[in-house]
A and B are shown apart, each in its own frame.
Chain A
Amino acid sequence: MDVELLIGIFPQVLLDGIILGFMYALIALGYTMVYGVLEFINFAHSEIFIVGAFVGVEVMLGLKSVGLLEGLPWPVVLILVLLAGMAGSGLLAVAVERVAYRPLRNAPRLIPLISAIGISFFLQDMIRLFESLWRNAFNLVYPTLDVLNLRFELTETMDVSVKSLVVIVGALLMLWALHLIVNRTKVGTAIRAVAEDQAAASLMGIDVNRIISLTFLIGGAMGGAAGVLFGVQYGLINPYSGFIPGLKAFTAAVLGGIGNIPGAMVGGLVLGLLEAFAASYLSLLTGGAFGAEYKDILAFSLLILILIFRPKGLLGEVVRERA
């Protein structure tokens, strides 16, 4: 075993893991937001997230076709695209809630889950139908902004690209914004009140339906932003590419303690680091007997271990559990 190699790649793997972790955390925020209020797994969030990526790529391609992609300064482009993705996903999430979840508010808790799965199937093929009509394409590619691809050499064996930094900064900003909204604003108080007790909140004069719509809007917008950053970071999206990251992010949310916003961040980071280290080191350490493909097994084994000792996730839940 080449010890020098093992140590040599360590900083880079650490960085890879952190970037991946922030990516998961970004997607996980949407799950956690909705769960915190309704205690319901919004299974369609992975599609809401990928719709954001599609809106983003359409806006970027639109800008490109009128020559503005190069014309505008890149932060402006990025912010425009992010806002468009957030708006698209946020509105979609509100619509989905109105159509498929609100009629089921009082049904047993698994019923909306199945409805969400139905929506997820529907949205995947809707995106596909739309893109095949509009562009006659299945895979869509994010146009590259040269600035984003620049890399900084931190050390000899470690470098980081601008787009990865954008992911990290974006995730931290969103976490901070979400924290402010939930804890410092009147709307946030209302959201927390609804999460605590819908009936009591309604007696206090809070329009519960409006607050739940708002929750979906915020959660969806977070998903949309995550989608755009996902597209910028990895470049390639297709109508089905939201599914796996969605599943991972959901795992991250549970790992950190679902319904808990800092928990989503912690869970995302733990999962990202674990995956990065497993995928990079397993094959080196076992001489090729076990390889990168075991990363999911390690991730889920760790999840089980953590949940055995901390059954409510790393940071615990903020809301009580429904019996």
Chain B
Amino acid sequence: MIHHRVRLVLALLAVLAVALAPASELQAQAGKGTIKIATQSPLSGGQAALGEGIKLGAQLAIERMKGTLEKQGFKVDFVPFDDQAKPDVGVANSKNIIADKDILAIIGHLNSGVAIPSSEVYKEVSLVMISPANTNPVVTDRGYPNVNRVCGRDDIQGVVGSEFAHATMKAKSVYIIHDKTPYGQGVAEFFKADAEKKGLKVLGFEGTEEKSNFDPIITPMKAKNPDVIYFGGIYDQGAPFFKQAREKGVKGKFLGPDGMDSSDLTKIAGKAVVGMHYTSAAGPASALPKAKAFSEEFKKKFGKNPEPYAAEAYDAATIAIKAIEAAAKGGKVPSREDVATAVRKAKLPNGITGDIEFDAKGDRKKALYFVLQVANEDPGKWGDNKIVKQLTIAAPAAAKK
């Protein structure tokens, strides 16, 4: 028995010996040190498709942009984390991230519910977070110096949508559906508030977590016959909804936020969504050469079309790299504070999602929004979508509440 225990301890010591040499310490410290950029997004579970899009977008940017830093003698690594769309996992990951001194920037998250508690952790060490997808106003309204976002805000995008419905689509009545997530409900609520202000008749406002069967929601909607139907949410829910609505004979025009910006929208809904409009900060490949290059390169490298927020993640990672370059002027690995300050000051003219510059809260100084129209039912021609309208709206100067 005793021998058994002793052997156990010896085995543990052997494991210890292995553990003493984690991979990073094995390799010779090349040059002036290592710089790591991490992503946090759900890589498993039902939201993995979008989460992986964020990861791949950032990965692509880092692989393309790291050259300058590497020439200066730094080693640039990319570290993806899976936050499982769960706040407790996200927070634990964040603690793990801040413990790794080499990590100088975070691209993430997908869910505002994970981003808010996690950014409290980043703030402790002034680690900069650049969010590609958290559109909840609270994220930046807290005024943290290390929290920025490339994507728009719900309170802008919802308004862009209702402006378009009112002024261009000449709608008299709207019916609003959302997906009960902070994003979908947030943008739908701002859409509703502004639509009411403009005198549009809101015939219905429904939230649903349903992913497959939309019949019971469509039936009363069809009976009320709205001019425009707005879906606040992501394409994987919006596309089946639009498809089923058309199949059931709903006549109204469709409108959605940037969660619809995926070729999978037409892959799923086919001709039901041809001609529908969606708002997005990322322009289409047809009009912007940059966007075209991005989507082609993404497709070449990963074999599929980019998801929504992949372009934003690409821009976010580009800014992170540029800021690190700026902060590393002395030839040393910069401090996290310096990187955070540099990000706030960074200017990225002509990112895929337009000119990026942050205001004092970390929002885009000027949010450029496109209203796009789906041109073709072939998902391969998603890039042909045309810009119907272009709206530039400055971020709300002061936090409401």
Contacts and interface: CB of A to CB of B under 8 A. Distances in A.
A16 interface: yes
A203 interface: no
Contact of B217 (A139, A149, A279, A288): A279
Contact of B48 (A137, A138, A244, A288): A138
The interface centre, meaning the residue of A9, A125, A136 with most chain B CB atoms within 10 A of its CB, is A9
Contacts of B304: 136-137
Nearest to B240: A236
Interface in A236-256: 236, 238, 240-241, 243-245
B268 A235 contact: yes
Nearest to B53: A138
Given A138-B48, A159-B249, A5 B224 contact: yes
B209 to A, nearest CB: 7
Contacts of B205: 283, 288, 291
Contacts of B49: 138-139, 238
Given A136-B303, A284-B220, A292-B208, A149 B268 contact: no
A293 B180 contact: yes
B220 A5 contact: yes
Contact of A292 (B52, B207, B302, B303): B207
B45 A240 contact: yes
Contacts of A244: 211
Interface of B: 44-46, 48-49, 52, 180, 204-213, 215-217, 219-220, 223-224, 236, 239-240, 243-244, 247-249, 264, 267-268, 270, 302-304
Given A128-B48, A291-B206, A234 B216 contact: no
Contact of A19 (B215, B223, B240): B215
List the 4 closest A-B pairs by CB distance, nearest first. Answer: A279-B216, A16-B215, A138-B49, A234-B212
A20 B249 contact: no
19 contacts: A12-B219, A16-B215, A16-B216, A138-B49, A151-B248, A235-B268, A236-B240, A238-B46, A238-B49, A240-B46, A241-B212, A243-B46, A275-B216, A277-B216, A279-B217, A280-B217, A283-B205, A283-B220, A291-B206
A157 interface: yes
B240 A9 contact: no
Contacts of B249: 151, 159
Given A235-B240, A293-B207, 5 more contacts: A19-B215, A136-B303, A149-B247, A161-B247, A238-B46
Nearest to A128: B48
The interface centre, meaning the residue of B46, B236, B239 with most chain A CB atoms within 10 A of its CB, is B46
A283 B205 CA distance: 8
A236 B239 contact: yes
Contact of B212 (A230, A275, A279): A230
A162 to B, nearest CB: 11
A13 B207 CA distance: 18
A125 B248 CA distance: 34
Contacts of A118: none
Nearest to A164: B215
A125 B48 CA distance: 11
Given A125-B44, A235-B268, A280 B220 contact: yes
Nearest to A12: B219
B182 to A, nearest CB: 14
Contacts of A277: 216
A8 interface: yes
Contacts of A187: none
Nearest to A121: B44
A127 to B, nearest CB: 12
Contacts of B208: 279, 292-293
A280 B236 CA distance: 22
The interface centre, meaning the residue of A17, A136, A161, A279 with most chain B CB atoms within 10 A of its CB, is A279
Interface string A273-295: 00111111101100010011101
A2 to B, nearest CB: 9
Contact of A23 (B213, B239, B270): B213
Nearest to B267: A141
B236 A9 contact: no
Interface string A1-35: 00001001100110011011001000000000000
Contacts of A185: none
A273 to B, nearest CB: 10
A149 B303 CA distance: 31
